[in-house]
Structures are given as structure tokens and as C-alpha cells.
Amino acid sequence: MTHIKVNVDGTTYEDEVEPRLLLAHYLRDRLGLTGTPIGCDTSNCGACTVDLDGATVKSCSVLAVQADGSEVTTVQGLAKDGEWTALQRAFHERHALQCGYCTPGMIMAARDLLRENPQPTSYEIRQALEGNLCRCTGYQNIVRAVLAASGQEAPAVAEEVTA
């Protein structure tokens, strides 16, 4: 067992973990932070995306011991005092989810994009979210939500792919 100390969503935790334990399992099974889902076993879906010291990572591809001494932000740490972020509101208002399984990862990846590129084009949004898979929405409303969160009006559907 290995001792780790990690700050998750503003709370510091100290634990003994097996070196093979994945960060996604640590968050869900040890800390009870089930807002970060696991959607595959191939590191393809992106549902488990979290922020690790400012970098967006798939938490199923990171060991819990690699997060030792780090700050982790999950989708559950975004809202402050019960208030959603503009990005979370946009997903809700633009109907950018159906089953919601991909949504935490989508929001964490889109959050990272908007930090680096506050006014992305539809094409840039699609590129940034290419590591996040959604089986339900067809992606259109997800792109619209990210555009809305960046203060941009969503373009007509015909313009979306190449704009």
C-alpha cells in the first residue's frame, strides 16, 4: 500500500492505496465522488475526464498514486454555493445531454478548451472534444452549448461543421 495525499474539489484526503488503483476508482469507490463516471475499459470514451493540476486527464488512465500531492477537480467541484458555472447552465439550457453519461467528461473537456480559447469556433470545439464520445446527442447541442457558454450565438446548422 502507498500513502497518498490529494486535494479533490477543495477537500484534502489522505489514504493508503494499492499502487495499481486507478484515479477513477479512487474518486468513485474510495471518496464516493460518483459524478465522475466510467464509460469504457479502453480509455476511449472520456466520460471520466477530470482536471489534474490544471491538465485535463482521463482519470481511468491515471493511477491514484500519480495524483499524490496534486489538486484534482471533478465535475462535482465546479458549482460554487449551489450555483452552476456558465458552462453547466449552457449544457442544461441547450439540451446538450440525454442520458447524461458523457456529460461530466464533456463539461471538463470543454472547460479546459474555454480556459485556453475563450471564443472557439464550432470546428475548434469539435476538435477539442474529439476524445469524448456521446452516444445520444449527435453532438450538435453540445457544440451549441459550448458556443453559448463562450458568449457566442450558435451559427446556423449548415455552418456548424466548418465554421
Minimum Å gap between C-beta 10 and ligand FES is 23
Minimum Å gap between C-beta 24 and ligand FES is 6
Of 155, 115, 154, 113, the closest CA to residue 132 belongs to 113
Minimum Å gap between C-beta 126 and ligand FES is 15
Residue 57 is a binding residue for ligand FES (CB under 6 A): no
- Cell matching residue 151: 458568449
Select from 27, 62, 97, 145 the one that contacts ligand FES (CB under 6 A).
Answer: 97
Cβ atoms 132, 48 nearer than 8 A:
no
Cβ atoms 77, 13 nearer than 8 A:
no
Residue 44 is a binding residue for ligand FES (CB under 6 A): yes
Cell 499502487 locates to 19
- Cell matching residue 126: 469539435
**Residues in touch with ligand FES (CB under 6 A):** 38-40, 43-48, 58, 60, 97-102, 134-137
